[in-house]
A and B are shown apart, each in its own frame.
Chain A
Amino acid sequence: MTQISMTVNGKAVSANVEDRTLLVTFIREHLGLTGTHVGCETSQCGACTVHVDGAAMKSCSMLALMAEGASITTIEGLAPGDDQLHPVQEAFREHHGLQCGFCTPGMIMAATDMIRRYEGKLDEDTIREQLEGNLCRCTGYHNIVKAIAAASETMAASGASDPTSA
């Protein structure tokens, strides 16, 4: 067992974990933040996507210890408050960007990351190419792409250039 400390959704956390503990296991089972999903377990589906020091990563493909000292944002930490959605979450609701919802946390974490990197300048082709690492078996992606494009525009217009800073 090794002592681990990091910041998750703005809160300092620490625990004793086995070295082989995956980051996603730490997030879900030690911290009880079950919004981050485990889909394929083979690092293809992207349902486990979280932000590590501001960049989207697959939390099933890294050890918790690799994130020692890092700042993590999960889907639970994205909205500014309990009664308010993040603009990307709002856009997914508005544009019906989900059906079963399993891939949605990963989709939204990947979407906020790409909006940050492209500073809101996203066209449809770029969004589709950037979603390469996130699988959805329900929607056929059309409404997800629409939702991301809309959120990107809204956020660029409101000057929310860094959606992960919250």
Chain B
Amino acid sequence: MYDVSYHRARTVPDALETRSQGDDPTYVAGGQTLIPTMKARLAAPSELIDVSKIEDLIGVCEEGSQVIVGASTTHAAVNSSELLSRRIPSLSALAGQIGDPMVRHRGTMGGSVANNDPSADYPAAVMALGATVRTDRREISADEFFVDLFETALEEDELITAIAYPVPKRATYAKFPNPASRYAMVGVMVAELEDGLVRVAVTGAGSSGVFRWTDAETALSETMDASALKELSVDADDMLEDLHGSADYRAHLVAVMTRRALQSLLAG
């Protein structure tokens, strides 16, 4: 790892202020992606600003018909949140499928969403549930937030403070994990929102990262049944291709995992 100086931020203004004084600073929370990346010398920030201990960014609470998850809440805390398991069980269950127990004890929701890894799990939930990303300066809708592989609508020094999830009628996440890394080869969340709309978000597969499968959404909004998906497929040209799987394979998996998510949704 190249030399770096480490700062632990106590508050959001403290984090922003420290960042404004840095040469080539970056925020870090759990560091479960960033620290290994720095060890491999694929990232070399000059300052790390640790936001994982900022109390305002930690915890899960209810705000009207939404559940708000602080950006520095760990995957383990999301997974074991009593409030989430009651209000959005699909989200707490999803968190329990990220990485492994040790990674879940450190990794955070804000870190994962800000990184926008195309194979990460959370983007599927943020997108399918129509969540809003709250930052130190504004609110960004899920549809606008995810831009491309590892690219988001966040400005250079913008810090995610929380993610607000509208409580859906029901939702489920079906994941086909890469057997070695446990990242999603394909992960699909199907959500029926409070207003009756159905959203289908796919992670792990798209060549531009997480995406909504709008054909499936339209079909399921008409008929909430597996028969609605029968003739549908995604275009392999829009899929990722790497040593773990071809674009055709991923396109096939998208349909399979969407069906599985729907089946468990309908099974209640």
**Given the known A-B contacts A63-B31, A132-B182, are A46 and B5 also in contact in the complex, defined by CB atoms under 8 Å?**
no
User: Is B54 positioned at the interface, with any CB of A under 8 Å from its CB?
Assistant: no
Beta-carbon contact of B6 and A133 below 8 Å: no
Q: How far is the CA of A46 from the CA of B32 in the complex (A)?
A: 13
* Cross-chain contact B31 with A20 (CB below 8 angstroms): no
| Option from B4, B31, B182 in Cβ contact (under 8 Å) with A61 | B31
CB < 8 Å: which of A19, A58, A113, A133 contacts B5?
A19
Residue on A nearest B34 in the bound complex, by CB: A61
Shortest CB-to-CB span from B237 to chain A, Å, is 32
Contact of B106 among A18, A57, A65, A114 (CB under 8 A): A57
For the complex formed, measure the closest distance between the CB of A142 and the CB atoms of chain B, giving whole angstroms: 19
Contact with B along A40-68 (1 / 0, CB 8 A): 01111010010010011110111101101
CB closest residue in chain B, given A66: B50
Contact A62 B102 (CB under 8 A): no
Q: Answer yes or no: B234 CB below 8 A from chain A CBs.
A: no
Which positions 38-85 of chain B face chain A at CB distance < 8 Å?
38-40, 48, 50, 52, 76
Query: Hey, which chain B residues are within 8 Å of A110, CB to CB?
Result: 101-102
Please report the C-alpha to C-alpha distance between residue A2 and residue B4 in the assembled complex, in whole angstroms. 12
Query: Is there an interface contact between B102 and A133, defined as CB atoms closer than 8 Å?
Result: yes
Cβ B36 vs Cβ A61 within 8 A: yes
A136 to B76, CA, bound (A): 24
Contacts of B3 on A, CB cut-off 8 Å?
Answer: 18-20
Pair A130/B39 contact, Cβ less than 8 Å: no
CA distance A62 to B16 in the complex (A): 22
The interface residues of chain B, by DSSP majority, are classed as mixed
B166-193, CB < 8 A from A: 181-182
Q: How far does the alpha carbon of A134 sit from the alpha carbon of B100 in the complex, in Å?
A: 9
Q: Which of A83-98 contact B (CB under 8 A)?
A: none
Give the Cβ gap from A37 to chain B, nearest Cβ, in Å. Answer: 14
The complex places the Cα of A43 from the Cα of B100 at a distance, in Å, of: 10
Q: How far is the CA of A43 from the CA of B32 in the complex (A)?
A: 8
Residues of B1-25 at the interface with A, using a CB-CB cut-off of 8 Å, are 1-6, 8
Q: Which residues of B contact A132 (CB under 8 A)?
A: 99-101, 182
A117–B6 Cα gap in the complex (Å)? 31
Q: A130 and B36 in contact (CB under 8 A), knowing A19-B4, A65-B6, A66-B50?
A: no
- B36 CB contacts on chain A under 8 angstroms: 42-43, 61
Q: Is B35 touching A61 in the complex (CB atoms < 8 A)?
A: yes
| Contact (Cβ within 8 A) B32 A61 | yes
B27 to chain A minimum Cβ distance, whole angstroms, is 13
B50 to A49, Cβ gap below 8 A? Answer: no
**For the complex, is B103 an interface residue (Cβ under 8 Å from A)?**
yes
The A-contacting residues of B in range 74-114, CB under 8 angstroms, are: 76, 99-103, 105-106
Q: Are B32 and A55 in contact (CB under 8 A)?
A: no
The closest CB in chain A to the CB of B4 belongs to: A20
Query: What separation, in Å, do the CA atoms of A18 and B1 have in the docked complex?
Result: 11
**In the complex the two chains form, is B31's CB within 8 Å of A130's CB?**
no
Give which listed residue, B5, B8, B31, contacts A68 with CB less than 8 A: B8
> Quick one: closest B residue to A41, CB to CB?
B39
Closest CB in chain A relative to B19 CB, distance in Å: 16
- Taken together as a complex, chains A and B put the C-alpha atoms of A41 and B37 apart, in Å, by 11
> How far, in angstroms, from A44 to B5 measured CA to CA in the complex?
25
A42 to B35, CA, bound (A): 9
Question: Shortest CB–CB separation between residue A47 and chain B, in angstroms?
Answer: 11
A-B contact pairs, 15 of them (CB 8 A): A2-B6, A19-B3, A19-B4, A20-B4, A22-B1, A44-B181, A52-B105, A57-B105, A60-B39, A61-B32, A61-B106, A62-B35, A65-B8, A133-B102, A133-B103
A residues sitting closer than 8 Å to B (CB atoms) are 2, 18-20, 22, 41-44, 46, 49, 52, 55-58, 60-63, 65-66, 68, 110, 113-114, 117, 130, 132-134
A55-B105, A110-B102, A130-B101 are known; give 4 further A-B pairs, CB within 8 A: A18-B3, A61-B36, A66-B52, A110-B101
